[in-house]
C-alpha cells in the first residue's frame, strides 16, 4: 500500500516537444489506482459518465482519492451521487477506513493530457498550441482520429496532426453558447 510502485498503461500522451520527444509522461497509474480504475469505469459508464482522471495519494493514517468525471450537464448533485456510490467500494478495494475522497467535473478550462481525454470532449470548445506555427488555434473539437484532430471555427475546418499539439485545453469561449447559457 505504499503507492510507490507505478505501472504504465497503454494510454499515450499525444503532446510532444520539438523533435518529437514527449512533453508529458504516459498516463501512469499505481497498481492501486489501476485496480480502482478497472472497477470504476464500468460503474460510471452505466451511470452515463466517463472517468477522466483518478489520483490516489497516501497520507498519514489514510489516503486521499480525487476523481474527475465527465458527463452531459454534470452537476454538484451528480458528483455527490458518484461519491456516495464509489467511496465504500474504494475503501473496500484499498482496505482503508480513513479515505478522503473528492469527485469533481473537469472544469471549463481543463488542460487535456492525452488522446483519450481529448476524445471525451468532442463537440466542446478547445484551444490548442500548434507547434508547427507556435500559435494557439481555437474552435469546436469535431473529431479525434489516431493521428489528427479536427477543429471547426465558423464554416472553416482545420485538421491538425496530433504530433503537432504542444498543449490543449477546454475553452468555452470557442462555443456558440457558454456553459452559463449566454
Query: Which residues, 6+ apart, have CB-to-CB distance to 39 below 8 Å?
Result: 89, 93
Task: Give pLDDT, residue 23.
Answer: 36
Give residue-wise pLDDT tens across range 102-159. Answer: 999 998 889 988 888 888 899 999 999 999 999 999 999 999 988 899 999 999 999 9
Yes or no: say if 87 and 96 are a contact pair by the CB < 8 Å rule.
Answer: no
Task: Give pLDDT, residue 22.
Answer: 39
Give residue-wise pLDDT tens across range 70-109. Answer: 998 899 999 999 999 999 999 999 999 899 999 999 988 8
Higher pLDDT among residues 10 and 137, named by residue? 137
Task: Give pLDDT, residue 12.
Answer: 36
Task: Give pLDDT, residue 177.
Answer: 65
Residue 9: pLDDT over 50 = no
- Quick one: average pLDDT of 8-20? 41
Q: For the domain 111-174, what is the CATH superfamily, name and number? A: Ribosome maturation factor RimP, C-terminal domain (2.30.30.180)
**In the chain, where are the structural domains located?**
7-104, 111-174
Q: Provide the grid cell at 53.
A: 482522471
Query: Which residues, 6+ apart, have CB-to-CB distance to 59 below 8 Å?
Result: none
Q: Provide the grid cell at 146.
A: 489516431
With a pLDDT cut of 70, the percent of the chain lying above it is: 82
- Per mean pLDDT, which range of 20-29, 50-59, 81-90, 160-169 is the poorest? 20-29
Task: Give pLDDT, residue 10.
Answer: 36
For the domain spanning 7-104, the CATH number is 3.30.70.1350
Strand residue runs (E) in 1-147: 7-8, 28-29, 50-59, 62-70, 99-104, 111-112, 125-130, 135-144
pLDDT band at 180 (very low <50, low <70, confident <90, very high): low
Compute φ and ψ for 181, nearest 5 degrees. Answer: 80, 15
Yes or no: say if 126 and 139 are a contact pair by the CB < 8 Å rule.
Answer: yes
Strand, helix or coil at 152? strand
Yes or no: say if 23 and 129 are a contact pair by the CB < 8 Å rule.
Answer: no
Amino acid at each position: 500500500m505504499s503507492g510507490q510502485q507505478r505501472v504504465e498503461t497503454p494510454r499515450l500522451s499525444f503532446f510532444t516537444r520539438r523533435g518529437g520527444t514527449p512533453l508529458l509522461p504516459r498516463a501512469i497509474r499505481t497498481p492501486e489506482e489501476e485496480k480502482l480504475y478497472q472497477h470504476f469505469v464500468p460503474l460510471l459508464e452505466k451511470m452515463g459518465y466517463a472517468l477522466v482522471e483518478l489520483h490516489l495519494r497516501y497520507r498519514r493514517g489514510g489516503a486521499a482519492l480525487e476523481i474527475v468525471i465527465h458527463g452531459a450537464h454534470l452537476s454538484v448533485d451528480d458528483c455527490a451521487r458518484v461519491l456516495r456510490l464509489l467511496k465504500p467500494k474504494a475503501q473496500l478495494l484499498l482496505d482503508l477506513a480513513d479515505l478522503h475522497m473528492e469527485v469533481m467535473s473537469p472544469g471549463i478550462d481543463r488542460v487535456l493530457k492525452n488522446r483519450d481525454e481529448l476524445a471525451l470532449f468532442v463537440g466542446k470548445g478547445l484551444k490548442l498550441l500548434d507547434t508547427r506555427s507556435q500559435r494557439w488555434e481555437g474552435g469546436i473539437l469535431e473529431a479525434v482520429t489516431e493521428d489528427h484532430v479536427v477543429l471547426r471555427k465558423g464554416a472553416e475546418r482545420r485538421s491538425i496532426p496530433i504530433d503537432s499539439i504542444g498543449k490543449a485545453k477546454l475553452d468555452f469561449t470557442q462555443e456558440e453558447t457558454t456553459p452559463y447559457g449566454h
